[in-house]
Chains A and B, each alone.
Chain A
């Protein structure tokens, strides 16, 4: 085989391998796993206070961050796709921290104090702060 043919062949193979790698990267890139991250530790009340006082500031601190939240369970429900949801109490009876588990946490009861770690997706005024893709720590 002549040299220039070898070069073209090598370039061709490199191109295919690169394209394959890009496709694999896009399709196989894993989702964020909160268990591998160190969470910001704080109480449900403190998280609510921060968002209520200044949403923009709280967003820069907590939005998209791993949060390790401790607090009292207000109620336990299941979302429309069967995942367990725990609402944490705050001092405002109409406001909770809404936390969705990605794995089944087992049996939980209202009034129990637990620690939950998940990713904060933000604040909905007059309703709740949302944390999802979470797991039970304690």
Chain B
């Protein structure tokens, strides 16, 4: 009887609470490039990101983790433009606006619009990104592309480029 009772309790608990499902990665990928200078191109493979089936998404990366082909360019990026000692991290926190179009339990490719706050170089701005969430074998991956205007984030890079095109590609576990 006691066993039966506890069984019922467990059953009630497990059906009563709809657990939110969170997927994460510590090694997502973000790269950026300049449309005006092909040497301005870098990749970061240590992006910590989470996506939840309630539509919340977060991305955090360390600006010193961007790898350029040219060492000299990487040094300028860190020291003069992004000032990575003063601002070592960039963060994004947002939500999928059209969550109803995404079925996290069904494999497929879903178009999403994500809006939220991007903090970069010590400045926070609201941005909207169009991208896709793919579900494969129950695991999501997220892709998106957007432009970052340098002066929006108080980055003085006018000599090199006015804007960069950023690309996100995160495969979650």
Contact = CB atoms under 8 A, between A and B. Distances in A.
Interface of A: 25-27, 29-32, 59, 63-64, 77, 79-81, 83, 85, 87, 96, 98, 100, 121-125, 127-128, 130, 132-133
Contacts of A77: 27
Contact of A27 (B28, B65, B70): B70
Interface stretch (B40-48, B96-104, B151-159): B40-48
Contacts of B73: 26
Interface of B: 26-29, 43, 45-46, 48, 60-62, 64-65, 67, 70-74, 85, 88-89, 169, 171
Given A25-B72, A121-B64, A127-B48, A87 B26 contact: yes
Given A121-B64, A130-B65, A80 B169 contact: yes
- Summarize B's interface: helix, strand, loop or mixed: strand
Given A59-B85, A64-B64, A121-B62, 8 more contacts: A25-B72, A80-B171, A81-B45, A83-B45, A100-B46, A127-B48, A127-B60, A130-B65
A98 B45 contact: no
A79 B88 contact: no
Contact of B64 (A26, A31, A122): A122
B62 A31 contact: no
Contacts of B43: 81
A101 to B, nearest CB: 11
Contacts of A32: 71
B85 A26 contact: no
Contacts of A121: 46, 62, 64-65, 88
| Nearest 4 CB-CB pairings of A with B | A122-B62, A121-B64, A127-B48, A121-B65
Contacts of A29: 70-72
A130 B61 CA distance: 10
Nearest to B43: A81
Nearest to B169: A80
Nearest to A27: B70
B25 to A, nearest CB: 9
A132 B88 contact: no
B124 to A, nearest CB: 16
Contacts of B26: 85, 87, 96, 98, 127-128
